[in-house]
């Protein structure tokens, strides 16, 4: 998959417009997992904007984000960095070259305990 395609995919699935970022760094200032990360929230935004996505895909930082959404709450420009992180995670899964869940797997997952919503979203997420 080419670089532009991944970038477009990430922007599309996250619904984030990184061009709105004014580089204030409030996301990184607010991030509780900052010290764990190799690439910090503000870098996420600017790297996705510039299409420099390869390093992100292979970075541990991706899984250090707690999805606490503090950055989303506090960003003055409404950029929503956490959604980008989530979208990059998704891009990684989709790059791994197979369907992690097929329609045939669904029936055996169904039970009274699991909400259907969860299965629907898992199906979306793990299917190319």
Partner 1 sequence: MQRVGVFVCWCGSNIAGTVDVAAVAEALKNEPGVVFSTDYQYMCSQAGQDIIKNAIAEHNLTGIVVCSCSPRMHEATFRKTAAAAGLNPYMVEIANIREQCSWVHKDMLTGTEKAIILGKAAVAKVNLNTPLTPGESPVTKRALVIGGGIAGIQTALDIADAGFPVDIVEKQPTIGGKMAQLDKTFPTLDCAACILTPKMVDVAQNEKIRIFSYSEVEEVGGFVGNFDVKIKKKARFVKEDICTGCGACVEKCPMKKNPNEFNLGMDNRPAIYIPFAQAVPKVATIDPNACNMLKNGKCGLCARICAAGAIDYTQKDEIIEEKYGAIVVATGFNPISMEKFDEFAYNQSKDVITSLEFERLTNAAGPSAGKLIRPSDGKHPHTIVFVQCVGSRCDACAEKGKEYCSKICCMYTAKHAMLTRDKYPDTEVYVFYIDVRTPGKNFDEFYRRAVEEFGVKYIKGMVGKVTPEGDKLKVQASDLLSNKQLHIDADLVVLAAAIEPDKSARPLATMLTASMDTNDFFTEAHPKLRPVESPTAGVFLSGACQGPKDIPETVSQAGAAASKVIGLLAKDKLTGNPCIASSNELMCNGCSSCERVCPYGAITYVDKEFRMPDRTTKIRRVASVNPAVCQGCGACTVACPSGAMDLKGFANSQIIAEVDAICK
CA distances from 84 to 4, 101, 111, 114 (A): 16, 23, 32, 27
Stretch that binds partner 1, among 36-44, 47-55, 85-93, 110-118 (CB under 8 A): 36-44
Show the binding pattern over residues 66-85: x = contacts partner 1 (CB under 8 A), - = does not: ----x---xxxxxx------
DSSP element (H, E) containing 64: none
Kindly state whether residue 127 participates in binding partner 1, applying the rule CB under 8 A.
Answer: no
* Site residue total, partner 1 (CB under 8 A): 23
Task: Give the Cα separation of 79 and 77 in Å (integer).
Answer: 6
Q: Which is nearer to partner 1, 72 or 91 (CB)?
A: 72
Q: Shortest Cβ distance from residue 66 to partner 1 (Å)?
A: 14
Q: Shortest Cβ distance from residue 77 to partner 1 (Å)?
A: 5
């Amino acid at each position: 998959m080419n670089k532009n395609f991944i970038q477009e995919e990430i922007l599309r699935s996250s619904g984030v417009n990184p061009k709105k970022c004014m580089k204030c760094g409030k996301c990184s200032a607010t991030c509780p997992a900052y010290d764990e990360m190799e690439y910090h929230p503000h870098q996420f935004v600017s790297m996705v904007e510039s299409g420099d996505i390869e390093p992100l895909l292979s970075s541990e930082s991706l899984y250090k984000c707690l999805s606490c959404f503090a950055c989303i709450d506090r960003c003055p420009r409404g950029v929503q960095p956490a959604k980008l992180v989530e979208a990059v995670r998704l891009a990684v899964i989709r790059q791994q070259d197979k369907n992690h869940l097929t329609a045939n797997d669904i029936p055996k997952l169904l039970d009274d305990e699991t909400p259907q919503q969860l299965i629907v979203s898992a199906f979306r997420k793990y299917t190319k």
